[in-house]
Chains A and B, each alone.
Chain A
Amino acid sequence: MVDASFVSQGSRVTALFGRSGAGKTSIINMVAGLVRPDEGRIVLNDKTYFDSQRGVDISTEKRRFGYIFQDGRLFPHLSIESNLIYGMRLAPPSERYLKFDQVVELLGITHLLDRRPSKLSGGEKQRVAIGRALLTSPDLLLMDEPLASLDGARRAELMPFIARLSREVLIPILYVSHSFDEILNLADTVVILDGGKVAGSGSVEEITGRYDLETLTGRVETGAVLCLEVKHHDVASALTFLGFPGGLLRVPLLEIPVGSIVRVHIHGRDVAIALEKPPRTTILNVFPARIEQIQESDGSTNIVNLDIGFPIVARITSYARAELGLMPNQRVFALIKKASVSLANLNGKCAIADL
């Protein structure tokens, strides 16, 4: 039973996030037209695709939404090339804005064209599935956990493709996932679903600052997600310096031009607190911080909100908190062991821009 409503504006990739059974696939199937909602509206760019009140229901084949399924669903009796052009042939030539060679090259599948789907690996199949959907020159791309059925290596291989896709092909994407990692790396807007209802929605940065995420995902995901500007690179020491009010965050060298904005994820468990500045340590990022508040996570863990010039989160044991006597408003030092930079290209946009 799904009862959801959300609006995504100016977003390149909108993610539907939630546990299995939360309703993500139902929603994407309704958007595709494969499942008919009992009531509601589906609108994209001022065009209404479904409206129960006005009796509008555009059939699936007329919606021009490319759908990439979790299991690929390549047609086994056709060659890869025939699979790719299956939908393309049905689109009017005047509306085709993507060329066959272009797409095949973007996805790196030129060498697979005359093979059969059964001879392809999982990652290759998904790339072909993406190509097949793209070649219909769709108005919207729907992706239902496209990386879920792939192993770690394939997933690491394919994620950059999808990130690149969202940058180079200007089609909005609705992306279903239960993997927070994928959301961080690919999405702009997140809609969180729980039990068929929307539990929250907003930009990735906003949403990840909320602790109720932990209960929804059932995993320890608490952390801070922010957008920072690349200030300069130091090739000799293989570091890149990201600027924030309070100093410079050091991350492993990035191949991104100075001045770009990147999304950074600092996981709660990668942040430690010290009462004094540690004299000699391998941790590069140590900043003076003020404790904003301390919350209990479960019996033995505490979540500490810190302000180092931007808000971050530290996950510590209750024992440590008691030992150090940590209190709100206290001045301490935050030690950031790891900051991950996501693949998402923010194009200069950011919800939390304090630069």
Chain B
Amino acid sequence: MTALAGAIQILGGLALAPLLPGTIQTLKAGLQGRRGPSPLQPYRELRRLWRKTLADPQPTTVVYRLAPCIVAAATILALFLVPIADLSPGWPLGNDAIVLVGLLALVRFVLAAASWDTGSGFALIGSSRDLTLSVFAEALLVGALILAALPAGSTDLVAMSGAASGSAIWSEPAHWFAAVAFALVVLVETGRQPIDNPDTHLELTMIHEGLLLEYAGRDLALLEWSAAARHWIFLVVAAELYLPHWGGFGVQLVCLVIGVTVLCAVLAFAETAQAKMRVLRVPALLAGGCLLTLVGLISWLVG
């Protein structure tokens, strides 16, 4: 059972991740009354990119060329940290939530360095915005993780998701606050509306797309896959820590699939219903989320 969970954790993360943004696009098109692309479209994009030539903007250094590999490697390592169905086959990488935050920070740093290496205005405007939002997003993320760590008394993701299973946890107000706060984190970290718009390449609006603008071919494929895997990581963590799940392995797995699908649908709905926010308004939203986590913590410590 544990081995199966481990296999789903890694192979699922590697192979199924592009399905998530694909599903969101399809659902969004449906909600907007369009006939959208198939959920498998990201796979076709990856295949197309994998065959194309690379581009080497001048003057760049090894930092720019290595960046996609390091980003993808750090994202794969992050996949090892996120357990499926409260089970971990004991990878030597542990399951710490803060290490996960660190690996995602490494991704952000490497992409920012690569955008400085090109000196491209589009890449730099993206990374400047990304890093500004990350200040508030990391505080909020850690706050939401503290709330999820309260019942377990540990930042081990396996223990945290175990403590969040069952129905008793839902009588704790802290858990509700945590779920709302983490929903904001998911919006920021996956780069979805109303925070970022993944469909546009307009310099006025884009954040994460700007960072990838100079890349082509396999480099771009690695980065696109990493962005999809980021969806996987955050949606699975959201489903495991903050959405209802219970029972044995099979039931847990069904809960996970339903949870992730529901989250995709919610993201698609949010993208349809919400216009994009002004970039400089987002920190206020995230700071509001931080206050929510504080209220949640008070309710737990008082109760």
Partners in one complex: no
Please give the residue numbers on chain A whose beta carbons come within 8 Å of chain B beta carbons, in ascending order.
Answer: none
Residues in B lying within 8 Å of A, measured CB to CB = none
